[in-house]
Amino acid sequence: MNARTALRALAVLLPLAARADSLSFTYSASIYQDAKEVALRSPEGVACTGGSLVVADTGNRRLLTFALKESGIISQTGEVKLGQLTSPVKLQVDGKGNLLALDGKSHKIVRVDANGGFGGFVELKGAPATPMILGFKLDAADNLYALDVASGKVLVADLAGSVIRAVDLPKGPVISDIAADGGGTIYAVDGVGATVWSAAKGATAFTQLGKSLKDRMSFPSYIVAHQGKLILVDQNGMGLVLLGLDGSYLGRQLAIGWNDGFVYYPSQLCINEKGDSFVADRGNNRVQQFTTAR
């Protein structure tokens, strides 16, 4: 059995239907190349707002920016290459439109200024050790949540970069990513064990939400809290898994494939204010746009 046959078999075992109270993702468009027809290579990150999209074109060691028009046309507006960001993997945009990018080699978060220049590294003042960041998120107030494996904690920093909260990661699970909701609850996903953990506002440790979902997902590598739900990018299961905030299973979206509308080793997901969602479809060397609706 070759690799693709095995992956197809895995996808069949994972249910695709989503409950009626869940979200559905309908294919809209794909980005395969830049304006100069240079093909994307293993893109791992996406960040979006209502009118813009940033892509971490990881294999080409660059960021690409795009404008999203009402007509549905996506047009490239710029390219960013920085010596301090040679392996961009995860992106976030703050409330003012400023971009933060995680470098997968240095494990540092880089600020990219409005002109596409280096705006400095994010310094976490008061961190218990020199941070080694594997993932990060911003909440609605632009507080930064960093998955720091050096200290074994999730560090929460305010706008000034001062650490205002530290939550111990659970012992044993291999945490692949974190998310935060509007109420200050932090969520963490164990990619290997396929479990989700949470720490309510004020908590100093995580507790597991429900049982392992190994029968529902293969290796969840990214998590987003969105409209009262958790959306997990199931990297090895080639799709998205939707959960309630209590960890209850709501269903799956997308499936393995190479045609438009399917995914192959997806990496990061973002959803803008209009309900447009973008998936970094790493294995297919593209970014895909979907409309997201209940």
Which CATH number fits the domain that encloses residue 87? 2.40.10
* Same domain as 288, residue 229: yes
Given a cut of 60, is residue 82 above it in pLDDT?
yes
Given a cut of 70, is residue 16 above it in pLDDT?
no
When pLDDT is cut at 50, 70 and 90, the band that residue 97 belongs to is confident
Given a cut of 90, is residue 22 above it in pLDDT?
no
Note the residue count of the chain: 294
* Same domain as 260, residue 158: no
The answer to whether residue 246 is domain-embedded is yes
Given a cut of 60, is residue 7 above it in pLDDT?
no
Given a cut of 70, is residue 1 above it in pLDDT?
no
Given a cut of 70, is residue 9 above it in pLDDT?
no
The answer to whether residue 179 is domain-embedded is yes
Distance CA 221, CA 230 (A): 13
The answer to whether residue 228 is domain-embedded is yes
* Same domain as 13, residue 55: no
When pLDDT is cut at 50, 70 and 90, the band that residue 33 belongs to is very high
**Mean pLDDT across 173-177:** 94
Contact 124, 164 (CB under 8 A): no
The answer to whether residue 175 is domain-embedded is yes
- The pLDDT value given to residue 23: 83
The answer to whether residue 39 is domain-embedded is no
- The pLDDT value given to residue 11: 47
The answer to whether residue 250 is domain-embedded is yes
- The pLDDT value given to residue 294: 66
Radius of gyration of the CA atoms of the chain, in A: 18
Residue bearing the bigger pLDDT, 91 or 69: 91
- The pLDDT value given to residue 73: 72
* Same domain as 94, residue 73: yes
Last residue of a domain, one of 166, 184, 218: 166
Distance CA 64, CA 94 (A): 17
- The pLDDT value given to residue 114: 86
* Same domain as 189, residue 292: yes
- The pLDDT value given to residue 128: 86
Kindly report the average pLDDT of the chain as a whole number.
90
**Mean pLDDT across 185-200:** 96
By three-state DSSP, how is residue 194 classified? coil
* Same domain as 269, residue 187: yes
Given a cut of 90, is residue 20 above it in pLDDT?
no
Sign of the dihedral through C-alpha 137, 142, 247, 282: negative
* Same domain as 282, residue 261: yes
Residue given tokens 């941070």 in the structure block: 131
Query: Could you list the residue range(s) of the whole structural domain that residue 95 is in?
Result: 47-122
* Same domain as 173, residue 156: no
Distance CA 72, CA 134 (A): 33
Half-sphere exposure (Cβ direction) of 237: Cα atoms closer than 13 Å: 27
Digit-coded pLDDT (tens) for 230-286: 999 999 999 999 999 999 999 999 999 999 999 999 999 999 988 899 999 999 999
Distance CA 169, CA 177 (A): 11
The answer to whether residue 276 is domain-embedded is yes
The answer to whether residue 41 is domain-embedded is no
Domain count, the chain: 3
Range ranked top by mean pLDDT from 157-161, 182-186, 276-280: 276-280
Digit-coded pLDDT (tens) for 201-238: 989 899 999 899 999 999 999 999 998 999 999 999 99
* Same domain as 11, residue 115: no
* Same domain as 285, residue 273: yes
* Same domain as 176, residue 160: no
CATH classification of the domain holding 12 = 2.120.10.30
Distance CA 276, CA 171 (A): 36
**Mean pLDDT across 158-181:** 93
* Same domain as 18, residue 57: no
